[in-house]
Amino acid sequence: MPESTVSFNRHRCDFAVFPQECVASVIHSGQFLPLFLHVEFAATCSMTNARCPISNDVSRAADILRSGGLVAFGTETVYGLGANALNEQAVARVFEAKDRPHFDPLIVHIADRKWLDRLAEQLSPAAKLLADEFWPGPLTLVLPKKEIVPDLVTSGLPSVAIRMPNHPLALELLTLVDLPIAAPSANPFGKISPTTAQHVLDNLGDRIDFILDGGPCDVGVESTVVLMTEDRPRILRHGGVTQEQLEAVIGPVEFHSSEFNEEISNSDSHAVAGDASQGTPSGAVAPGMLAQHYSPTTPLVLASEASDASVSGKRVGLLRLSKSSTVGDDFPELAAVETLSDDGDLRIAAAEFFAALRRLDSSGLDLILAESFPEEGLGRALNDRLRRACHQ
């Protein structure tokens, strides 16, 4: 290697602000080459252009949000990609960073109920019961919106989705910034959701301003989304609060079937994307529930639907619920196995699910087989993610 000189450049001040980010430059063969080193993360960072600072500095994160920047932050469900929900330019950057179609509205995160009154019309008795019972927590309520919420956030819908996350650092951030924060999951649109700061760094590190590291997410699947704008509540997305838990508080709750959205995702989904003035396709109450989502790059199929022929000659990996699962017995030549929980505990399985799928996806496999979950409790949310991840 020719002789090189290493020197810190003008970014030295960043070093003082973010102790874990050290930005250096290399003068190599007379050329000036910037070199970005994340000292704490250098060993594990899998993207060379991931230059976004990571820390647990809440004040720094709040400053960035206040000035219209994008901050990914940990919640109890998955990492969110946050922006000031009242700043349309900041919200537009969220859609851009994720390559998210504009027909898919964002969840607004709050820590203080005063924002609920400012953003949404008065709560129905059922909505109030649910907020009282499950907030802070993995429940999102879709409520009639007030004028103050930009159309860009709601994709032109007359409703706004609101949630109060149950994560100490996220709540501290929301309290400090004292703004409603629009935050979809911090993954490129349609891809596997992030449950660690490293996942966000790997996927969006070169597109966002800061990652507030809240550690690995405890719940591991997204919030349950419940539509509260009609006479009867409807679950639009299964998630961290189970249907059983909801029904124990407000009685029977239907699940919204997403056949309509299947049609959208089977056509060219980006054909209906555009600015918020285009709104959502008429009749879509759950515009984001597309048949294909959470997708690994490696083809994924349900183990129950795989045949000898479909695995023959391939490097195959298996995602299974527990050590006692027999699903792998039919496929003896497995190149990798991820077990979500020793004894099939669905809460542990949910917390591990996305990270395990990512590990399999980066194991150089030709095919991933996955075991279905019992269709109860968190198993419903996991089966939903699995079905969409399998959809080609």
User: Where on the chain is the footprint of Mg ion (CB under 5 A)?
Assistant: 185
Are 83 and 91 in contact, with CB atoms under 8 Å apart? yes
Residue in 64, 65, 83, 106 binding ligand TXA, rule: CB under 6 A: 106
Tell me the C-alpha distance between 385 and 248, whole Å. 24
Stretch that binds ligand TXA, among 41-49, 183-191, 307-315, 376-384 (CB under 6 A): 183-191
Q: Which is nearer to Mg ion, 320 or 388 (CB)?
A: 388
Tell me which of ligand TXA, Mg ion, none is bound by residue 80, counting a contact when its beta carbon lies within the kind-specific cut-off of 5 to 8 angstroms: ligand TXA
Are 142 and 229 in contact, with CB atoms under 8 Å apart? yes
**Tokens of residue 229, six digits:** 């704008």
Residues in contact with ligand TXA, shown as a per-residue x/- string from 140 to 179 under the rule CB under 6 A:
x-x-----------x--x-xxx-x-x--------------
Are 101 and 156 in contact, with CB atoms under 8 Å apart? no
21-28: long-range contacts, CB 8 A cutoff, minimum separation 24: 21/53, 21/54, 28/2, 28/4
Number of neighbouring beta carbons within 10 Å of residue 266? 12
Number of neighbouring beta carbons within 10 Å of residue 270? 12
The sign one gets for the Cα dihedral 135, 140, 142, 147 is positive
Work out how close the CB of 185 gets to ligand TXA at its nearest, in angstroms, rounded to a whole number: 4
Strand partners, 254: 234
**Tokens of residue 116, six digits:** 């609920």
Q: Which residue has the tokens 């989904």?
A: 269
Stretch that binds ligand TXA, among 36-44, 74-82, 85-93, 378-386 (CB under 6 A): 74-82
Tell me which of Mg ion, ligand TXA, none is bound by residue 90, counting a contact when its beta carbon lies within the kind-specific cut-off of 5 to 8 angstroms: none
Work out how close the CB of 282 gets to ligand TXA at its nearest, in angstroms, rounded to a whole number: 14
Q: Strand order of the sheet with strand 234-237? A: 54-55, 210-212, 71-73, 80-84, 181-182, 107-109, 159-163, 139-144, 224-227, 234-237, 254-255
Work out how close the CB of 45 gets to ligand TXA at its nearest, in angstroms, rounded to a whole number: 22
Say which residues have a Cβ less than 8 Å from residue 312's Cβ, sequence separation at least 6: none
Q: Which is nearer to ligand TXA, 45 or 284 (CB)?
A: 284
Are 107 and 182 in contact, with CB atoms under 8 Å apart? yes
Judged by CB under 6 A, the number of residues near ligand TXA is: 31
Are 216 and 198 in contact, with CB atoms under 8 Å apart? no
Stretch that binds ligand TXA, among 13-21, 262-270, 287-295, 374-382 (CB under 6 A): 287-295
Site for ligand TXA in 189-228 (CB under 6 A): 222-223, 225
Told to check if 75 binds ligand TXA by CB under 6 A, we report yes
Stretch that binds ligand TXA, among 76-84, 271-279, 368-376, 381-389 (CB under 6 A): 76-84
Q: Which is nearer to ligand TXA, 36 or 95 (CB)?
A: 95
Told to check if 242 binds ligand TXA by CB under 6 A, we report no
Site for ligand TXA in 113-132 (CB under 6 A): none
Work out how close the CB of 252 gets to Mg ion at its nearest, in angstroms, rounded to a whole number: 27
Amino acid at 76: E
Tell me which of ligand TXA, Mg ion, none is bound by residue 225, counting a contact when its beta carbon lies within the kind-specific cut-off of 5 to 8 angstroms: ligand TXA
How many helical (H) and strand (E) elements, i.e. helices and strands, does the chain have?
Answer: 13, 18
> Which strand (E) or helix (H) includes residue 107?
strand 107-109
Tell me which of Mg ion, ligand TXA, none is bound by residue 140, counting a contact when its beta carbon lies within the kind-specific cut-off of 5 to 8 angstroms: ligand TXA
| Footprint of ligand TXA (CB under 6 A) | 75, 77-78, 80, 104-107, 138, 140, 142, 154, 157, 159-161, 163, 165, 183-185, 222-223, 225, 236-237, 285-289
